[in-house]
Structure 1
Amino acid sequence: MKSPKKNAHIQKLLKKKTQLKSVSSKPKFKTMKRKPPPFIKRKGSAYFQHHQLSYRLPLILLVASLFILIIAIPSLIVLPQNKNNKATEPADDFTIMNEQQQEAISVAVMRTKADVVEDVSLENYIVGVVAAEMPVTFEMEALKAQAIAARTYTVNHLLTNDEDSYDITDTVQDQVYKNNDELKQLWGSAYEDNIKKIKAAVESTRGEILTYEDAPIMPAYFSMSNGYTENSEDYWEKELPYLRSVPSPWDLENPKLVNQETFTKAELEERLGITLSSDAADHITIARSDSGRVSQFTMDENTFTGREIRDKLELRSTDFSVKQANDHYIFTTKGNGHGIGMSQYGADSMAKEGKNYEDIVKHYYQGIDISTLDEAAPTLVSK
């Protein structure tokens, strides 16, 4: 017989074998770990990136499509295209309005030689005046001063002109004016450079005029003084507060300051409508204004104003003296022009010293302001 201890050990082994057999007899299944949903994956994993793109790509395409439909296409339709097919940035509406209004101002210019009226926009007319009235070789600030003076004269004339057929003439009666064709003929190969300079001066003062107590002034100007400008009432009858005599010492350095004109006794008698004695030069008396110009001229008891002598003899200025040499009379003049307002040569000299166009106009026109057309001539702009 087997011992009880040994039997117990055998039974234990049999029981364990039976348990193992029962387990091994169960169906076999391959165990797989369940993958967690994408949102618990780490962002650095390829799995996450794949699913992230799969969700985001349609959303990006949708947003891009909406942007093209709502923003891009209407912009391409609305914005004007230039020659390079590039959209141009729209300018400020207020600026566009002012420039359009200014360009709408037309100046009817009587072309004296051709006896026709030429309609020109205001700013183009000012270009033609500056080019004709002032040497293009002058400093830019002097050209700007000329532009603003010419524009002011034109606006003043447009507001007060009574003529029906034209606004202004193209002669020294008003302002000398030359159109594009005339300037091309005058300047030849230098036309492109010259017209660019003139246009730059005009454009930089676009829409600006000179005013006194909010009204456009009468901006007289002339070529060259005798060292001083003239009070308006000493040449014209009307006294204007902004046309006062001021120093213009720069003109004294001009080599063309002095000029002489010689007349025979017969020529002088014909032009003045008088009869002269053989020693008429000994019977001359001259009264002068504060600026040194002749206010009254008497010769052989025949009395004239300085302006009358200048006009009848076509002298350069009213600052003159007379000498007799046998049967000839020599008139020596200083300066060039009526002497009222701005000296053009003085303006150029001031510019060379570093003065700007505001400095120049405020020196020659006393107590004035620089205003815009909208402010000083609204009725003209609104036409």
Structure 2
Amino acid sequence: MNHPRLTFKSVRARSISVPMNRPLGTSSATMDKAPFLLLDLYTDEGVVGHAHIFCYRDFAAPLIRKAVEVAGELLVGAPLQPEIIKNICGSYFMLLGNQGIVGMAISGLDVACWDALAKASGLPLSQYLGSDIQSLSAYNSNGLSISSNLADKIAIAEEAQALLEQGFKALKIRLGREDHAEDVKAVKAVREVISSGTALMSDYNQALSLSEALERGLDLQQEGLYWIEEPLPYQDLEGNAQVVKTLQVPIQNGENYSSPDFLSLAMKMKSMDYIMIDLMRIGGVSGWMQAAELAKEADLLLSSHLYPEVSAHLLAASTTSHWLEYIDWAEIFIAEPVSISDGIVKISASVGTGVAWQEDVVTHYELD
């Protein structure tokens, strides 16, 4: 692919922590704030690329920022090309490993690089990647969290209705309470208030043992779940493959895969029915497109994890695109949030990813 000629000048990284409209409660943690690292990649030619990294915990943001700043010093004066960023950073960080904190830093730089290149070409990122798709199906992943080991059927039903009223035809519910019966109660509460045509995804966030996954999964099959996401630890490829083989409801996996190579191995072991990719874990735009090619070769449907503002562009450029996960955590500081109506998200027509900051909000929530 021939890219515009740009030269890396510098990168600025800022840590912020913003309130969530709806706290996120999973089988492993509860969060009411969303920490992000915001990247501004400057070029000698005046084009600026942006990226935002969800850091999960406040303490992680400065760690990722340090890795970004170290990488930025290495890249000064280099041609702004994704492969050059990957090679320079990959070589320097090799002894640490290009996963986790380091991997997210490199992914963020990759996203900012692609944003700048698409801007320099005068195109939205999706079109720069060769797509002419204008819209995608999206599901609302903002609520239906685990707030207690006891499922409050009335509160759950009311929240499901409120989430659909935001313009969706599909929802995700978090599961993994200590008592499986409470999970079933929660699923039934949602099912009672949504139409038969509304897709209901579920997510265990890696909470179960193999025996639990099989027992609970078999019991939940009659509840009409669209998929069961991450029932086991993601690295247990053999166990996940057994769950896939045993259950009729599709198994969704992939958001924690940190490279296309790991995804390829998981696919060979048949550890999922559907693939879900996290932009900042898989290797940014570059890693995503490699993963999309693997999904195409295997004819597996590909969905996104977080980052709807950027992921929409990448799903549009993926042959086997499936669902966009919608979360609103970044909307408070992003100038152009995604537009959703009747369950459909419109791909931004702005050049690049369309991501830019509301600077007054960033200043207000900046951590340091």
Higher RCO (C-alpha 8 Å, min separation 6) = 2
TM-score (norm 2): 0.27
Bigger Rg, which one = 1
TM-score (norm 1): 0.26
More helix by share: 1
